[in-house]
């Protein structure tokens, strides 16, 4: 082999190594945190059958049904329920299944946004326009918000543990 052939072979080998490195940088490895995330998703599923607002369960809030299948559900808890379903359930499942860094990052941002909305939902259930106290949040709403906080922290740790830093 000549020096030119050796050099060309080294260039091809370097291109292959760079390609593998780029592919690996787009992946995440949640490790033990995957179990924490899976347990959080299970807790969210259990919280969806607990009462959230006015005696309505979380799944009823998601579908805008009041207690007993009739009535009206407030907008903020319903929006939070949609965020729990989209980012808490589906986002976490997709992120764990695909193990793609971008999907995990999107799940982290979505869970964070809807956690804040969940806190506002709790506040909205405690206040009214009169001087009387509101009906108060149900146990399922509180458990869901706390679980979403744990999900945000866990997903943030997974995303920030990327080799080479987050923005590289």
Residues in CB range of 60: below 8 A, 6 or more apart? 52, 66, 67, 69, 73
Would you kindly state where each structural domain of the chain is located, as residue ranges?
29-160
- What are the pLDDT digits (tens) for 25-73? 667 888 899 999 999 999 999 999 999 988 889 999 888 877 665 567 7
pLDDT band at 6 (very low <50, low <70, confident <90, very high): confident
pLDDT at 166: 54
Phi, psi of 153 (to 5 degrees): -65, -45
Number of H helices, E strands in the chain: 7, 2
How far apart CA 32 and CA 60 sit, in angstroms, is 33
Tokens linked to 108? 């982290």
How far apart CA 82 and CA 59 sit, in angstroms, is 10
pLDDT at 13: 72
The b-or-e profile of 118-141 (16+ CB within 10 A means b, else e) is beebbebbeeeeeeeeeeebbebb
How far apart CA 58 and CA 88 sit, in angstroms, is 13
């Amino acid at each position: 082999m000549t020096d030119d052939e050796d050099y060309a072979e080294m260039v091809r080998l370097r291109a292959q190594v760079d390609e593998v490195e780029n592919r690996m940088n787009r992946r995440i490895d949640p490790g033990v945190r995957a179990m924490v995330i899976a347990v959080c998703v299970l807790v969210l599923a259990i919280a969806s059958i607990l009462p959230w607002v006015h005696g309505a369960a979380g799944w009823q809030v998601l579908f805008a049904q009041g207690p007993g299948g009739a009535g009206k559900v407030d907008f903020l808890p319903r929006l939070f329920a949609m965020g729990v379903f989209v980012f808490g359930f589906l986002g976490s499942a997709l992120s764990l299944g695909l193990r793609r860094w971008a999907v995990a990052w999107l799940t982290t941002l979505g869970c964070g946004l809807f956690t804040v909305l969940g806190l506002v939902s709790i506040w909205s259930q405690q206040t009214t326009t009169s001087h009387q106290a509101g009906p108060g949040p149900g146990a399922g709403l509180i458990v869901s918000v706390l679980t979403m906080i744990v999900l945000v922290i866990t997903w943030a740790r997974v995303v920030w543990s990327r080799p080479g830093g987050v923005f590289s």
